[in-house]
Amino acid sequence: MPQVTLTVNGKTHSVAVESRTLLVELLREKLRLTGTHVGCDTSQCGACVVHINGESVKSCTTLAVMCDGAAVTTIEGLAAADGTLHPMQEAFREYHALQCGFCTPGMVMSAIDLVQKHPEGLSEREIREGLEGNLCRCTGYHNIVKAIAAAADVMHGKRETIAAAAE
C-alpha cells in the first residue's frame, strides 16, 4: 500500500493507505478527526472542506496519496492550545450561525480562506458568492453571512473582538 506522509494540524503523520482512499477518509477513519463531515457524493455540499497548504479544498474529492508532503488544517486545528476559539468559530457561535452544525466545519474552513484572500474586505454579496460551494440545509445563510463579516473585521484588525462586533 502507498505510504503518505503529511502534516495535519501541525502534527506529522505517516500512514499506509489504499490508492483510492480519499483525504476525508484518511482524516476521519485513520486519524479519527471526525470534525470534517461528508454530506454528499457529488462534490457539491462543502461539509468536507479542509485547508491544504492554506487553501480550501473539498477533501471528499481529493485522494490521500495526492496529499503526500502537504500541510492540512481541519476544523480541529483552528482553536488555540488553551481552547480559545478562532475568531471565525467565535463569530459562528456569537451570531447563531449554526443549528444542527453539520455544515459548520466546512463553512468555517471555506470562510477563513475567503477572508484571508480578501484583505481589502468583502461585501455581503461577495460573502454569499464565496459560499457557493457550501450548502446549509437548516440554519439558512443569513446569520452565517453576518458571522463571516464580523470575523473578517476581527481577522483584519478592524475590530478587537467578535463580541464588540456583535453589538
3, 5, 34, 43: which one contacts another protein (CB under 8 A)?
Answer: 43
Match 488553551 to its residue by C-alpha cell.
Answer: 82
SS3 15: strand
User: Could you tell me if residue 81 is left (phi over 0), alpha (psi between -120 and 50 degrees) or otherwise beta?
Assistant: alpha
Nearer to ligand FES, 41 or 120 (CB): 41
Give yes or no for residue 133 binding another protein (CB under 8 A): yes
* 30-89 binders of ligand FAD (CB under 6 A): 43-44, 61
Closest residue by beta carbon to ligand FAD: 43
Q: What mask of x and - would describe binding to another protein in positions 91 to 110, judged by CB under 8 A?
A: -------------------x
CB of 86 to another protein, least distance (A): 19
How far is C-alpha 54 from the geometric centre of its chain's CA atoms?
10
| CB-nearer residue toward another protein: 74 or 134 | 134
Residue 62 exposed, middle or buried by CB count within 10 Å (0-12, 13-18, 19+): buried
Q: How far apart are CA 105 and CA 36, in angstroms?
A: 6
Contact code string over 17-46 relative to ligand FES, x by CB under 6 A: ---------------------xxx--xxxx
Other CB atoms within 10 A of residue 39 CB: 18
> In which region does residue 69 sit, left (phi positive, over 0), alpha (psi from -120 to 50) or beta (all else)?
left
Stretch touching ligand FES by CB under 6 A, among 85-93, 102-110, 116-124, 156-164: 102-110
- The number of residues that bind ligand FES (CB under 6 A) is 22
User: Judged by CB under 8 A, which stretch of 60-68, 80-88, 93-101, 145-153 contacts another protein?
Assistant: 60-68
DSSP-derived secondary structure letter, 41: S
